[in-house]
Amino acid sequence: MAYRRTERTEARLAEVRERIVAGALAQVAEGGYASASVQAVAERAGVATGSVYRHFPSKAELFGEVFRRQARQELGVLEEIAGRDAPALERLAEATEVLARRALASPTLAYAQIAEPVEQEVEAERLVLRRGYRDAFARILQDGIERGELQPHDTQTYGAAILGAISEALVGPLSAPRRRNREALIASLVQFTTGRIREHSRA
């Protein structure tokens, strides 16, 4: 007769897996992706290194899961803003501010999500996050066009350009978070993104 796991065993394995994921997230948030060895994650999770590998065959697979979960959480926040019934420029300003503020609040984790060298499998999850952000910005812009608030334009391209500008502007401050005034940086990003779209709409 084939062995079948009991519900108790399944629950215990699920609990261990969640501890491993939580430990991996905490490690990358504190020391960056380069610091997040399987051994370091195992120590944080309170399990043996072999237990990590039983749940995740490689570091890349583990952090692919970590980044995937973070992507869902981060995108949920931006998509909620994008879906509000408010003027497009107002939503664009808020989305820009929230994206920048959340990144600057957890600079090491945000840097890992944006720019730190990672394996191809993890990069694939980062790409999903970037596409989601782009689409959220594009949705705001498309709503603005449909409401007659903005002039017609390629919303996907503009959404990608907005995200690219924000990400590039954040890379330096995230790698050296104490060297710049956060509020001034956030204000500048909001002014840039909304100003560019407002300028286009007046053309």
pLDDT above 90: residue 188:
yes
Q: What is the pLDDT of residue 180?
A: 62
Model confidence at 47, pLDDT cuts 50, 70, 90, reads: very high
Model confidence at 199, pLDDT cuts 50, 70, 90, reads: confident
Torsion of CA 57, 64, 67, 189, to 10 degrees: 140
What domains lie within the chain, and their CATH numbers?
A: 1-57 (1.10.10), 59-202 (1.10.357.10)
Give the chain's radius of gyration (CA, Å).
20
Rounded CA separation 38/47 (Å): 11
Model confidence at 160, pLDDT cuts 50, 70, 90, reads: very high
| Average confidence (pLDDT) over 60-75 | 91
pLDDT above 60: residue 2:
no
Grouping H, G, I as helix, E, B as strand and the rest as coil, residue 37 is coil
pLDDT above 60: residue 23:
yes
Instruction: Give whole-number Cα distances, 114 to 13, 108, 122, 171, in Å.
Output: 31, 10, 11, 8
pLDDT above 80: residue 4:
no
Tokens of 165: 């500008």
Task: For 115-150, write each residue's pLDDT tens digit.
Answer: 999 999 899 989 999 999 999 999 999 999 999 999
Instruction: Give whole-number Cα distances, 81 to 35, 136, 203, in Å.
Output: 33, 9, 27
Model confidence at 175, pLDDT cuts 50, 70, 90, reads: confident
| Average confidence (pLDDT) over 75-97 | 96
| Average confidence (pLDDT) over 146-170 | 96
Q: What is the pLDDT of residue 181?
A: 85
Give helix 120-146 / helix 155-175 axis angle, nearest 10°. Answer: 130
Using the structure block, give the residue that is written with the tokens 């990400």: 167
pLDDT above 50: residue 33:
yes
Number of neighbouring beta carbons within 10 Å of residue 29? 17
Rounded CA separation 190/95 (Å): 9
Q: What is the pLDDT of residue 1?
A: 47
Residue 46 backbone class (left: φ over 0; alpha: ψ -120 to 50; beta: rest)? left
Task: For 89-104, write each residue's pLDDT tens digit.
Answer: 999 999 999 999 999 9
